[in-house]
Amino acid sequence: MSHLIQQAFTITQTDYEKRNGNRGLVIWLTGLSGSGKSTIANELNTRLFHQNRYSVLLDGDNTRLGINHDLGFTDSDRTENNRRVAEIAKLFMESGNIAICSFISPFQKDRDLSKQIIGEENYFEVFVDCSLTTCENRDVKGMYKQARKGELESFTGISSPYETPANPQLILPTEQLNLQQCAELLLNSITERIKLRN
């Protein structure tokens, strides 16, 4: 790998941000399946779009149907899944986009790696907090029932652990707050982060 050299380009992140009217940022939503991550991410993206902000949505299921289709759900595959997504999100962020990432990302070490790749100053972690019981009751994809029957291996919360984030920038308790409240709280929390530098 010693023959590889980082290529420098004429247009910088600052140039993109000035054109876009917002700073680049990666918002990383983590939580159990069924906690509300994708729904909140979609609502935030919609609001940013209507504010004429430059944002992009990266979702766990969608990326596993595409760029990460070759990965399973072993611990090492989950790590590689998160690594790839973090690298993609970083590219979007460096182009002045607000990258909204919706991923279970159950392990603290993998979330720490994502933060390291993206850069702490550009990484905003959101814990979408919802109890396993409520997520199972929602079971929007029917996967908890399959996992309980042993039909799904390494399913987070059932046969594979979820490690609660150690120090997220924001916690959204979706059993207490509705979608609009969560989206509003998240949007308000990132407003200063996406303002252009003077």
Residues marked active site are found at 105
Residues with Cβ within 8 Å of 85's Cβ and at least 6 positions away in sequence, in order, are: 58, 63, 68, 101, 103, 114
Residues paired with 43 in a beta bridge: none
Dist CA 178 CA 172 (whole Å)? 10
Q: What is the DSSP letter of 140?
A: T
Helix (H) or strand (E) holding 170: strand 170-173
Dist CA 114 CA 94 (whole Å)? 15
Dist CA 138 CA 132 (whole Å)? 10
Q: How far is CA 183 from the centre of its chain?
A: 14
Q: CA-CA distances (angstroms) from residue 52 to 47, 158, 165? A: 9, 41, 31
